[in-house]
Amino acid sequence: MASLSEFATEKLGDFSPGGSLADIDPISTGEVKKNLPPYLTEGEWGNQRIEALLATIFWQIVMASQEYQGVLHELAVRGGPMLQPEVMVTPHGMKTNPRYDLLILDYSDPTLNSRIFKLVNISPADLRDAHLVWRTRRLAELRRLEAERRVSLQGLQAYHALIQAIGPEFAVKALKKKDFCILAAPLPPLEYTSVPPQAWRVSPSPGQMPTSTAGAIVKDARNQVGVTACLHGISGGTGGNCIGRAVQVYGQHGTVWDFDQVSDSCFIDLPYLSTGPFAKKPTAGPLQNVTPRQYETVSFDGLSSGPGVQTTVQSWSPDIPFVQRYNQLKVFTTDVTNQGDSGAALLDVLGNILGFSFYRTGLNAMPAFSAWVWADSVFSALGLTTL
């Protein structure tokens, strides 16, 4: 079974990734970097994060262009309102300077060959127009988040500064510096990771067998302590309203206080939570304002898979890191999750929460991967902070 990165390299080839996007003015003046926490941007890891972030923003601009819709038609990408393709920025090739291509896994015939589009002929005028569309949309999203008070003032300021740092010529210059491709392929069979009711951590009601794994210990806007959990594990896969539902977490009685269907998440109020397994999982909160780092080693504790399981970041949704209320953002890793791991928190080496376990591909899938809902979107949707 090939990982997402291996799959992309196999189909697209391992050719030159081009120069650094961080050298593009005014990016080279540090306008992006200076608005991010130093611990995220220092050293070689920091440089890789910045490069990954800039490549992701390039794809956001391309996807806002008129020509992008024509490319999707040319590639015969298939989907629908309830069958959205998985679209992901996929680093592959050299680990120190990878390519950042767009992989689209759609609902086409599984026997259909992969389709490739090389992004060389998109016009500079279209990219400049797309930048204006991208900027307008992002600023409108920030205004909505501010009105809903879903993001802190500091977070809003950081997002605003990032948008302002990306000028109308960025995508034009980026396309001259790097080779970019779009690869479309059939979406492999998927499996939600909390279907069989075996001895797992979160029970959908007291006395029932557990069906999923708790994610992070958090507090909500009322300053009430509780935990995150996956909605499909609590609701039995229906995704319906479960507010007020009595549940059980590690033998402790709790109540579902809030939920969000888009991010497949819910907040479980645990009024008597003080010590126990959750106290052993300190985190730095959700990763914000940057994308994950290519090939980053990350880990999680899942009841089925066990504690401290390591995996590698392979891809991420192209709209990351911008939180969007009605967009299900995801991080993709090598296929390591198992049934029962849904809701488990994915942590990087600095203790940032990248995501919560959502689904994995089925047996012998090509490519094979595990999907994690972007943690920042869960925290934003439910109004949560870490302790």
The predicted structure's pLDDT at residue 149: 76
Q: Which residue has the higher pLDDT, 188 or 241?
A: 188
Over 60: is that where the pLDDT of 66 sits? Answer: yes
Structure confidence at residue 379 (pLDDT): 93
> What is the pLDDT, as a whole number, of residue 156?
84
Q: Which CATH class is domain 189-387?
A: mainly beta
Q: How confident is the model at residue 3 (pLDDT cuts 50, 70, 90)?
A: very high
Q: What is the pLDDT of residue 197?
A: 33
Contact 279, 266 (CB under 8 A): no
Stated pTM of the model = 0.90
- pLDDT tens-digit readout, 266-310: 999 988 765 555 455 567 789 999 999 999 999 998 878 888 899
Give the integer Cα–Cα distance in Å for 321 and 206.
Answer: 37
pLDDT at 14 over 70: no
Q: What is the pLDDT of residue 56?
A: 97
Residue 82 pLDDT level (bands cut at 50, 70, 90): low
User: Are 217 and 254 in contact, with CB atoms under 8 Å apart?
Assistant: no
Confidence tier at 95 by pLDDT (50, 70, 90): confident
Question: In the structure, what pLDDT confidence band is assigned to residue 356 with cuts at 50, 70 and 90?
Answer: very high
Q: What percent of the chain has pLDDT over 70?
A: 91
pLDDT in tens, 222-239: 889 888 999 988 877 666
Residue ranges of the chain that CATH labels 2.40.10.10: 189-387
Q: For residue 100, give the nearest of 67, 60, 56, 62 by alpha carbon.
A: 56
Measure the CA–CA gap between 152 and 292, rounded to whole angstroms.
21
User: What is the per-residue pLDDT for 239?
Assistant: 61
Greater confidence (186 vs 241) lies with: 186
Which pLDDT tens digit goes with each residue over 97-149?
899 999 999 988 777 788 888 887 789 999 999 999 999 999 999 888 888 77
Residue pair 157/201 in contact by the 8 Å Cβ criterion: no
Task: Please determine, for residue 199, whether its predicted confidence score (pLDDT) is greater than 50.
Answer: no
On average, the pLDDT of the chain sits at 86
What is the model's pLDDT at position 26? 87
Q: Which of 85, 55, 57, 52 is nearest to 313 (CA)?
A: 52
Instruction: Say how far apart CA 368 and CA 365 lie, in whole Å.
Output: 5
What average pLDDT does range 320-342 have in this prediction?
Answer: 91
